[in-house]
Structure 1
Amino acid sequence: MRIFISSVRKGLEEERDALGGLIRALGHTPVQFEDFSAQTTPSREACLAALESADVCLFLLGPSYGHVFPETGQSATHDEWVAAQTAGKPRLVYRKLGVTFEDDQQNFARIVQAYATGVFRDSFHDTAELMTKVVRKVKELESGPSPLSFTPLTQPASLRWSLDDARDGASASVPLLEVHVLPVGFAGYSARELEQFGTSLVDRIRRTGAVKNDVALTPSSSQAHAAVSIPASRPRAWDAPQPGELVEVRLHKTGQISLRATLPRDGLGSILDHDALPQQITDLLRFTGALDLIQHEPIVVAIGVSNPRLTQIDRFDPHQSRTRAELGGYMRSFTLQTEPDESTNLAALDTGAGEVAGILSRALIKQHPAAT
C-alpha cells in the first residue's frame, strides 16, 4: 500500500520523521512531502497529486493549522482532507493529546471528528504510542472487510424525484442521470437552517474541487429546497465525445441531496456504459460525501435517468465518437429508476461508494429494453 501522510510539520516533527521508516518496515510505501524531490510544481499541487496515487491517507492533528492558501481559504492538510474524502480514500486520523490547538485547527478537528463513518479516528500522547497504534491499524487494513452494512427498509423511502421536472429546459432533450441520497429518520431542516445551508452550498461545491473556479455557479431556492446549477461545458464539435458532467446539486428540506448529471454522449446520443456508469455514480456519491451535509445515518441511495428512450446501452470512447448505434425505436415508454428496499451506512458516500455504485448501475441497466 501507498500511505499518504498529511499534517503540518510544526509540532509534529518527531512523529512525521518516525512514520516513514515504520511504514517501510511494514512493507508499504510512505508518501510525504519531505521525500519529494525538487520540482517545478507548487508544493500544494504536488501534495494533492501524490495523494491521488495513495491507497490510504494518514492524518495527524497537532496544535498548528498551517498556512492558509488564498485560493481555497484552507490549509494544505485541510485541502488534502477534502481531496481524500472526495476520492473515497480510506483515512486514518490521529489527534495529539496534551497540546493546545489553534482556533482554526480546533475547528478543522471538529470537521474531521464529526464525519460519522469511513474514517478511523484515534489519539496519542507521544511518538511511541502513535507508532504502536499505526502498526495495529495497518495490519487490519491489509485484510479489512467491506465498510458497508445494509438493513431492509420497513417502509418505502419518501424520495423526491425530478425525472419529469420540466423547469429545466435541458431535461426536455438531454437524458440526465439522477442520484438521490436521503437520511432515514432525519427530522429535516427548518426554514432558517435550509437558508443557511443554501447560502453555503456554492462554497461547499467549490471546496470539493469537482468544479473549476472559473465555472459560474447559479444558486436558487424555494421553500422546499436550495439548488445550484452548473453549466455543462461546450463540446469541441457537435459529434465530439463528452463525458458525463454534474449539472445540478439540490438540497431538500427533508435532508435529501439530489444530483443531476449528463450521461457520457457523442454525436449519436447518450450512452449507458457498463463501465462508465458505475464510475460516474461512484464519483457522484463521493462528491455528496465531500459536501459534508449528510451526517445522519442510515441512508438510502437511488438513481434514475430522465428521457430514457433517448439512451443506448453501448461503450463510451472518450477519444472517438461512434459511427453507428441502435437509436431508440422502442414501441412503449419505460422508466429507468431504482426503488430502494434497504438502507446502508455513510460509507456509501466514501470508501463503499464503488460497491454501491456497482449494485445500482447493474439494477438500472437491467431495466432498459435493450438489455433483454
Structure 2
Amino acid sequence: MKIFISSARKGLEVERDNLDGLIRALGHTPVRFEDFSAQSTPSREACLRAVESADVCLFLLGPYYGHVFPETAQSATHDEWVAAQAAGKPRVVYRKQGVTFEDAQHAFTRIVEAYATGVFRDSFHTTPELMTKVAQKVRELESAGSPLAFAKLTEQPALHWASDDTAHGSASSEDAMLELSALPLDFVGYSARELSQLAASLVDRIRATRMVRGDVALSPTSSEDYVAVAIPASRPRSWDTPQTGELVESRLYKTGQLSVRATLPRDGLGSILDPDALSQQIADLLRFSGALNIVQVDRIVVAASVSTTVTTSIDSFDPRQSRRSAQPMGFGRSDRALRTEPDESVTLAALGAGAAEVATHLAQALIVQASR
C-alpha cells in the first residue's frame, strides 16, 4: 500500500519522521512531501497527485494549521483533505492531545470531525502511542476485503428523476444530461425543518468539495419535495469547441434521495456517450455525492439515467478537437431516456472507495441500452 502522510510539519516533526520508518518496516510505501525530488510541476499539484495515487491517506492533527496559500486560502493539509475526500480515499485521522491548537487549526479540526463517512478517528499523547495505533490500523487495512457489498432488493425503490420535471435546470436544451441518484434504504426521510436546515448548508457543502470554481454563482431553489442548487454551465469559446461534462445541479429530496446532474461531453456535432468517459464521469459524481456528507446510512440504492437529444451519439470524446462526422442515435430527450433499473442495494462505500466499481456497472448498463 501507498500511505500518504498529511500534516503540518511544525509541531509534528518527530511523529512524521517515525511514521516514515514504521510504514516501511510494515512493508508499505510512505509518501511525504519531505521526500519529493525536484519536479517540473507546481508543489501543490505534485502533492495532490500523490494523494490521488495513494491507497490510504493518514492525517495528523497537531497544534499548527500550516501556511495559508493565497491560491486556495487554506493550508496544504486542508487541500489534501479535500482532495482525499473527493477521490474517495480511505482517511485515517489522529489528533495530538496535550497541545494547544491555534484558531485556524481548531476550525480545520471541526471540518475534519464533521465528516463521519469512512474516517477513522483516534488520538495520541506520545509518539510511541501513535506508532502502536498506526501499526494496528495498517494491519486492519491489510486484512480488509472490498468495501463494497451488494444485496438483492425485495422491492423496487421509488426513485425521483429530475429529468421528468418540466424544468431542466441551468443546462442548454441542446445538452444531453447524465443524472445520478443515491437513495438511502430504511430511512424515514427528512422533516420540513431538517430539509430546511440542509438547504441552508447545501451551497457551502458544494463549495467545500472544490468541484465548482469559487467565482461561479450558485442558485438555490426549493419546493415541498426537495431543495436544489443549480450550477451554471460554462459557455464554449465557439460552437465547435469540445466541452467535457459539467456538473449543473445537486438536488436533495425529502425522502433522503440525493441526485446530481451533469451534462455529457459534447462537441460541434452534439453530445457524446463515450463508454470510457461515462464510467469516469459517473465515478466522479458518486464521489462528489459522498463528499457532500449528506447520505450516511449503511445501505443505499444507486441508479443512473441519461436524457438524450436528437444529436446524441455513441462515440469517443476528444477534448482537443471536434469530430468531423457522427451517427446520432436518432431519438430525442422526450422520446426516450436511458435508465438503470436497480435490483440491488450497495454499501455506502459506493460513494467513496467503491465509486469506480459501481460506476463501471452503471455505465455498462446505460451503454447496452443505448446500443439497442
Q: Shorter chain as normaliser: what TM range?
A: 0.7 to 0.9
Instruction: Check 1:242–1:21 CA distance in 2 against 1; reply closer, same or farther (3 A cut).
Output: same
* Stretch of structure 1 that moved more, 5-14 or 216-225: 5-14
Where structure 1 has 5 or more consecutive residues not aligned to the other structure, the ranges are none
The DSSP-based 3-state class of the residue aligned with 2:249 is strand
C-alpha deviations, 1:40-78, integer Å up to 9, x for none? 998766644543443431112345555667886765434
1:229 Cα deviation from its structure 2 partner: 0.9
For residues 274 and 288 of structure 2, the distance between their equivalents in structure 1, rounded to whole angstroms, comes to 20
Q: Which residue of 1 aligns with 2:223?
A: 222
Q: Does structure 1 retain, via aligned residues, the 8 Å contact 2:314–2:328?
A: no
For residues 69 and 203 of structure 1, the distance between their equivalents in structure 2, rounded to whole angstroms, comes to 20
* Stretch of structure 1 that moved more, 138-147 or 186-195: 138-147
Aligned residue pair count: 370
1:100-249 correspondence to structure 2 within 5 Å: 109=109, 112=112, 115-138=115-138, 141=141, 145-168=145-168, 170=171, 172-249=173-250
1:51-62 correspondence to structure 2 within 5 Å: 51-62=51-62
Q: Which residue of 1 aligns with 2:30?
A: 30
Corresponding letter in the other structure for 2:356: G
1:94 Cα deviation from its structure 2 partner: 2.7
Q: Which residue of 1 aligns with 2:294?
A: 293
* Stretch of structure 1 that moved more, 348-357 or 71-80: 71-80
C-alpha deviations, 1:306-335, integer Å up to 9, x for none? 136542111111112111111233599433
* Stretch of structure 1 that moved more, 185-194 or 359-368: 185-194
Q: Does structure 2 retain, via aligned residues, the 8 Å contact 1:231–1:247?
A: yes
For residues 308 and 318 of structure 2, the distance between their equivalents in structure 1, rounded to whole angstroms, comes to 22
Instruction: Check 1:74–1:222 CA distance in 2 against 1; reply closer, same or farther (3 A cut).
Output: farther
For residues 38 and 276 of structure 2, the distance between their equivalents in structure 1, rounded to whole angstroms, comes to 38
For residues 162 and 354 of structure 2, the distance between their equivalents in structure 1, rounded to whole angstroms, comes to 26
For residues 71 and 224 of structure 2, the distance between their equivalents in structure 1, rounded to whole angstroms, comes to 33
Where structure 2 has 5 or more consecutive residues not aligned to the other structure, the ranges are none
Q: Which residue of 1 aligns with 2:265?
A: 264
Instruction: Check 1:155–1:113 CA distance in 2 against 1; reply closer, same or farther (3 A cut).
Output: farther
Q: Which residue of 2 aligns with 1:363?
A: 365
The DSSP-based 3-state class of the residue aligned with 1:296 is coil
For residues 187 and 107 of structure 1, the distance between their equivalents in structure 2, rounded to whole angstroms, comes to 32
1:173 Cα deviation from its structure 2 partner: 3.5
* Stretch of structure 1 that moved more, 172-181 or 111-120: 111-120
For residues 55 and 83 of structure 1, the distance between their equivalents in structure 2, rounded to whole angstroms, comes to 13
Q: How well do the aligned residues superpose, as a CA RMSD in angstroms?
A: 3.1
For residues 5 and 69 of structure 2, the distance between their equivalents in structure 1, rounded to whole angstroms, comes to 19
For residues 188 and 228 of structure 1, the distance between their equivalents in structure 2, rounded to whole angstroms, comes to 19
Instruction: Check 1:49–1:274 CA distance in 2 against 1; reply closer, same or farther (3 A cut).
Output: closer
1:150 Cα deviation from its structure 2 partner: 1.2
C-alpha deviations, 1:230-285, integer Å up to 9, x for none? 11111122112111000111111222111110001111111111100010000011
TM-score scaled by structure 2? 0.86
TM-score scaled by structure 1? 0.86
Corresponding letter in the other structure for 1:292: N
The DSSP-based 3-state class of the residue aligned with 2:79 is helix
1:90 aligned to 2:90?
Answer: yes
1:117 Cα deviation from its structure 2 partner: 4.5
For residues 309 and 186 of structure 2, the distance between their equivalents in structure 1, rounded to whole angstroms, comes to 31
1:339 aligned to 2:331?
Answer: no
Instruction: Check 1:365–1:204 CA distance in 2 against 1; reply closer, same or farther (3 A cut).
Output: same
1:24 Cα deviation from its structure 2 partner: 4.0
Corresponding letter in the other structure for 2:297: H
For residues 166 and 66 of structure 1, the distance between their equivalents in structure 2, rounded to whole angstroms, comes to 48
For residues 118 and 362 of structure 1, the distance between their equivalents in structure 2, rounded to whole angstroms, comes to 27
Q: Which residue of 1 aligns with 2:18?
A: 18
Q: Does structure 2 retain, via aligned residues, the 8 Å contact 1:250–1:258?
A: yes
The DSSP-based 3-state class of the residue aligned with 1:93 is strand
Q: Which residue of 2 aligns with 1:254?
A: 255
What is the percent sequence identity of the aligned residues? 68
